[in-house]
C-alpha cells in the first residue's frame, strides 16, 4: 500500500486508489515557519514544569493551571462557557516523562488514516479504524504565516484555485484577539485533505505546547466508525455549537464568491463557508468566543 507521509508519522498514512496521488506537496507532520519568516512555530518560549512524577496532576503542575486537559487520552468535556478553556500541554522543557497524560497532540497520529479520492470533493481523509469521541485525530499543520503574507496569498488566488489557508481568531478574556494563519498548500500534513461538512465528526481546538503559536488540533466530535470520512466545519464553530446570527450573516455573503458544498448532510448549507472580512483588516472581527474562519 502506498504511504503518504514518507515515514514521518508514528503510523502509516494510506493512499487510495493505487496508482493515483494528489498534487505534489512537501509532507511535514508539524507546523513550520512560513516564507515570510515572521513566526517560528518551533521556537520554545514556555518554561517547563518541575514535576518529578511520570505524569502531571492538576493543582500541582504549572502547565495545568487552567485545569485538566485530558481524561485518559480524550479531551475533557467543558461546560458551554462564554470563553473556551485554553489547552496547554507539557513541553520540551518540562521535567515530567514522555508518558505524561498531558502530552497528547504532540505525539502525532495514533490512528491509521487514509487519503482517498472522493466522487465530488477531490481528495478526502478517512479513518481505517474506530475512533472514540474526544480522541485526538490529527493536526492541521502547514506554514505559519503573518497577516500580510496570508492576505497576499489569499488575494492572489483565482476562483479555480483550491484554498487551504485557515485563519484562527481566538478572543481572549482581555478582549485581545489572537490570530493564527496556517497554509498547508506547499508544506503540510494529512489535515490538508479534510473536507468540510455541515455536520462534521471533528472539531478544532488550538493546543499550545512550546509557545503561544498553537497547534490546530482536531478531535472526534462523536464516535467514528472505520471507513468513515473525516470532516470538520470550515466556519470553525467550536464544539459544533448551533450557528449564531452573526455567523449566519457571514455565511450568506455573495454566493458568487463561494463554492458549492457536497457534504450531503441533512443540514447542508449548499455552499462552503466564506468570510470576506477575514483579509480586509487585521481586527475586522469581534466577538466573545473562539472563532475559526476559513475563506
DSSP string for residues in 124-142: EEEESS-B-TTBEEEE--E
Q: What's the pLDDT at 1?
A: 67
pTM for the model: 0.87
The CATH code of the domain that includes 74 is 2.170.270.10
* pLDDT tens sequence across 204-243: 999 999 999 999 999 999 999 999 999 999 887 644 444 4
- In a domain? residue 115: yes
- In a domain? residue 1: no
- In a domain? residue 6: no
- Degrees to nearest 5, angle at CA 105 with 211 and 150: 55
- In a domain? residue 3: no
Domain containing residue 200: 13-293
- In a domain? residue 28: yes
C-alpha cell of residue 191: 489535515
- In a domain? residue 168: yes
- In a domain? residue 5: no
* pLDDT tens sequence across 136-169: 999 999 999 999 999 999 889 887 888 899 998 8
- In a domain? residue 259: yes
Torsion angle, alpha carbons of 114, 116, 119, 120, to 10: 90
CB 153 within 8 A of CB 170: no
Q: Into how many domains does the chain fold? A: 1
C-alpha–C-alpha distance, residues 167 and 108, integer Å: 22
Q: Give the percent of the chain with pLDDT over 90.
A: 60
Amino acid at each position: 500500500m502506498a504511504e503518504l507521509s514518507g515515514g514521518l508519522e508514528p503510523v502509516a498514512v494510506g493512499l487510495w486508489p493505487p496508482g493515483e496521488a494528489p498534487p505534489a506537496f512537501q509532507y511535514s507532520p508539524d507546523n513550520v515557519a512560513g516564507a515570510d519568516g515572521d513566526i517560528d512555530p518551533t521556537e520554545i518560549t514556555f518554561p517547563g514544569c518541575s514535576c518529578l512524577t511520570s505524569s502531571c496532576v492538576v493543582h500541582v503542575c504549572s502547565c495545568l493551571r487552567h485545569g485538566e486537559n485530558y481524561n485518559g487520552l480524550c479531551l475533557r468535556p467543558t461546560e458551554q462557557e462564554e470563553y473556551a478553556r485554553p489547552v496547554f500541554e507539557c513541553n520540551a522543557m518540562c521535567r515530567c516523562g514522555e508518558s505524561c497524560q498531558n502530552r497528547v497532540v504532540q505525539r502525532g497520529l495514533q490512528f491509521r488514516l487514509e487519503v482517498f479520492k472522493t466522487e465530488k470533493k477531490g481528495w478526502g481523509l478517512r479513518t481505517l479504524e474506530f475512533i472514540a469521541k474526544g480522541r485526538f485525530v490529527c493536526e492541521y499543520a502547514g506554514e505559519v504565516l503573518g497577516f500580510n503574507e496570508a492576505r497576499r496569498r489569499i488575494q492572489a488566488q483565482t476562483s479555480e484555485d483550491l484554498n487551504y489557508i485557515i485563519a484562527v481568531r481566538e478572543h481572549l478574556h482581555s478582549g485581545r484577539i489572537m490570530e493564527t494563519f496556517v497554509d498547508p498548500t506547499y508544506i503540510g500534513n494529512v489535515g490538508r485533505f479534510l473536507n468540510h461538512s455541515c455536520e462534521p465528526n471533528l472539531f478544532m481546538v488550538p493546543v499550545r505546547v512550546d509557545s503561544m503559536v498553537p497547534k490546530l488540533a482536531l478531535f472526534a466530535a462523536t464516535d467514528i466508525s472505520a471507513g468513515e470520512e473525516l470532516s470538520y466545519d470550515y466556519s470553525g464553530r467550536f464544539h459544533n455549537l448551533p450557528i449564531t446570527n452573526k455567523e449566519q450573516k457571514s455565511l450568506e455573503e455573495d454566493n458568487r464568491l463561494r463554492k458549492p458544498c457536497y457534504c450531503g448532510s441533512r443540514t447542508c448549507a449548499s455552499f462552503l463557508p466564506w468570510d470576506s472580512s477575514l483579509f480586509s483588516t487585521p481586527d475586522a472581527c469581534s466577538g466573545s468566543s473562539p472563532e475559526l474562519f476559513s475563506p
